[in-house]
Amino acid sequence: MSAADWHGPGANERSRGFSWQALLWSLVFPPKRHRIAPTVTGLFLMLTAMGIGTAAYNTASNILFITLSLLLACLLLSGLMSWFNFSGICWRVRPQGPWRAGHETLVAVEVQNRKKWLPSYGLWFELMTQPRRAAAAEKADQDLKVREVLAAAEKLVTRGQIFMRERLEAGGEMALDWGVKPVRRGEAQVELTAVGSLFPFGFLRKSIGTAQRLPVLVWPAQVEYQWTGAASAHPGSAGRRTARIGTGDDLLALRKYERGDSHRLIHWKASARLGQLMLRQFAAESHDGYVLQVDTPAGVWTRPEQFERLCSFAATLAEDLYASGRLRGVIVNGGPLQDTRRLRDVEAFLDELARLEPEGRGDSPNRPEGGWGQPPLPNQPAAQKNIITFAPEGAQRVTAHVDGHQTAAA
């Protein structure tokens, strides 16, 4: 991350530089989103000071006036120390790893103290995750439909606090972790809503509203399914390259020349560079793979919960097939075949499933012959075999079909 990712008073002070005029102005008129509110203890202190001040005025007692001045000094010192505690502090939010519905993940908050002399104590950070739909609805007009969207999205909002329990020395840095478990797949955002402190006496609560938001993608949850048939794919289907030595077209590795090897496989450039004959080894072509085809017409996937199960089923099946070396590629809504030779190809498919929505396109030119989730025609070429399609069954179940024959269900 760049320096622009840092937020807070410390980041702003470095960009603007120091001046006494700006310091005095910030003490009189705090910057935007800086709030100071008395705590219960602070309110009790204020009431006590008012009572002692009234008694001191009526009795003209010097001891009571000294006591009043001490209470007011404590209140003033609390505000000044709180200001110094935040001075030079900056932070940034970093979501960790891939996010998956139903699995706990971490959000790291990195904190830096850019002051030269003073440490900082007792900071806390308020974080929140919510779907991006809810954030967009907050900016829209507050009509009935928007309120319904907000009410439904509020159930998916997760809030939490993390505390800095150790002091942060001048020039020091630390990372705080917040564990969060996403509820549902889709585009979401992590928001650092506020940073606060009760330091030093707990009389005043100082907080800084940040509204720092970062987008994240939540992959579909993993589901259990039953594989009921089609234990092996049809031979003669379009093969995929595997990390196994064979006679394919993709270069796998180089090895030393041995007696009896074909001279046509010699890699002359590598041999000249290394000073010895090197042979090319190619990846083998495997014929026992499948292609996942996910089609989401709105007229078929009418139940939201069943559509979520489809996304989870497709994601789980793709990972299992890739782990066993039997996933050749994926097709989403009639698009081009996307090869899945590497793990990042599968992760790109999971990203696409996270954003997937029912498509209301009716009779599309990409609609497969025989209908969505139906078996292919008998005269389909061999390159189109071993395709796994999905179809709804009942109110909740989703079934997977290999060339039209039911193979798995979730």
Helix (H) or strand (E) holding 24: helix 20-28
Please name the residue ranges forming H helices in 87-130: none
Among 154-163, 197-206, 208-217, 296-305, the range with the most confident prediction by mean pLDDT is: 296-305
Q: Which residues pair with 348 in a beta bridge?
A: none
Identify the weakest region by mean pLDDT among 123-127, 242-246, 383-387: 242-246
Q: How confident is the model at residue 125, as a pLDDT?
A: 94
Q: How confident is the model at residue 325, as a pLDDT?
A: 86
Per-residue pLDDT for 97 more than 70? yes
pLDDT band at residue 242 using 50, 70 and 90 as cut-offs: very low
Identify the weakest region by mean pLDDT among 115-119, 215-219, 365-369, 376-380: 376-380
Digit-coded pLDDT (tens) for 342-360: 889 999 999 999 999 998 6
Domains in the chain, start-ordered, CATH in brackets? Answer: 3-219 (2.60.40.10), 226-231+288-409 (no CATH), 244-285 (no CATH)
DSSP symbol at 367? P
Q: What mean pLDDT is predicted for residues 386-394?
A: 91
Q: Which residues pair with 215 in a beta bridge?
A: 189
Q: How confident is the model at residue 66, as a pLDDT?
A: 92
pLDDT band at residue 54 using 50, 70 and 90 as cut-offs: very high
Q: What mean pLDDT is predicted for residues 305-329?
A: 91
Among 33-47, 223-237, 281-295, the range with the most confident prediction by mean pLDDT is: 33-47
Per-residue pLDDT for 63 more than 90? yes
Q: How confident is the model at residue 83, as a pLDDT?
A: 82
Q: How confident is the model at residue 179, as a pLDDT?
A: 92
Per-residue pLDDT for 123 more than 80? yes
Per-residue pLDDT for 376 more than 50? no
Q: How confident is the model at residue 4, as a pLDDT?
A: 65
Non-local CB neighbours of 357 within 8 Å, separated by 6+ positions: 296
Nearest partner of 384 among 370, 398, 365, 403, judged by Cα: 403
Query: What percent of the chain clears pLDDT 90, i.e. is strictly above it?
Result: 37
Residue 187: both structure tokens together: 């585009």
Cα–Cα distance, 355 to 219 (Å, whole number): 9
Cα–chain center distance at 324: 27
Per-residue pLDDT for 316 more than 80? yes
DSSP 193-228: EEEEE-TTTSSEEEEEEEEEEEEEEEEPPP---EE-
Per-residue pLDDT for 181 more than 70? yes
Nearest partner of 183 among 224, 218, 132, judged by Cα: 218
Per-residue pLDDT for 318 more than 90? yes
Q: How confident is the model at residue 149, as a pLDDT?
A: 55
Q: How confident is the model at residue 150, as a pLDDT?
A: 55
Give the pTM. Answer: 0.71
Digit-coded pLDDT (tens) for 134-168: 444 444 444 545 555 556 556 778 889 999 988 99
Among 40-49, 244-253, 266-275, 356-365, the range with the most confident prediction by mean pLDDT is: 40-49
Cα–Cα distance, 146 to 62 (Å, whole number): 62
Across the chain, what does the average pLDDT equal?
79
Residue 169: both structure tokens together: 């020395």
